[in-house]
Amino acid sequence: MTTATLQFVDTPDGAFAILADDADRVIVSGWTADPDAVLARLRPDRRPDRVVEGDTWAAEAVRAYYDGDLAAIDDVEVAQQGTALQLAGWRGLRDIAPGAPLTYSGFAAALGSPAAVRAAASICARNAVALFVPCHRVLRGDGTMGGFAWGTDVKRRLLTREAAA
């Protein structure tokens, strides 16, 4: 039986949910106060058997990020499951510096596959650990927000916060 810990952190962008596995690695995160929305980010066969509310060490990184330490999220351990390309893409997202967003085509090029723009967009869309794997730092080719699982208003505020730092 697997147990995961769920914690909600108040942020200027609303409630931020963190779901961590039994090794305290983040498996889902995002801006919601709805436990069902958190679990919906995982495939049914990857959902924990039991979810308990408690404290995660990642919450301190979220608070520090919002207090201006944008690098605080960099060392939070995450656990995602996916294809080799997805895993490489999620690692690549963590290399995008705050305040220096890429376009989907720029992200594809950074992954070594400049023609794989749709794959790059799919990697962002399937990222279950928002903020810690900063998919919000990828924009459409024309510089507009594009999609974001937690809403483009949150994405815009994150990018504005990072650009100002």
Neighbours of 76 (CB within 10 A): 25
Task: Name residue 14's beta-bridge partners.
Answer: 11
CA distance 58 to 49: 21
Amino acid at 157: R
CA distance 86 to 107: 13
CA distance 17 to 2: 19
The residue annotated as part of the active site, out of 6, 128, 135, 154, is 135
CA distance 70 to 52: 28
CB 42 within 8 A of CB 96: no
Closest-CA residue to 62 (of 11, 22, 134): 11
Residue 124 known to be catalytic: no
Q: Which helix (H) or strand (E) holds 152?
A: helix 152-164
Active site residues: 135
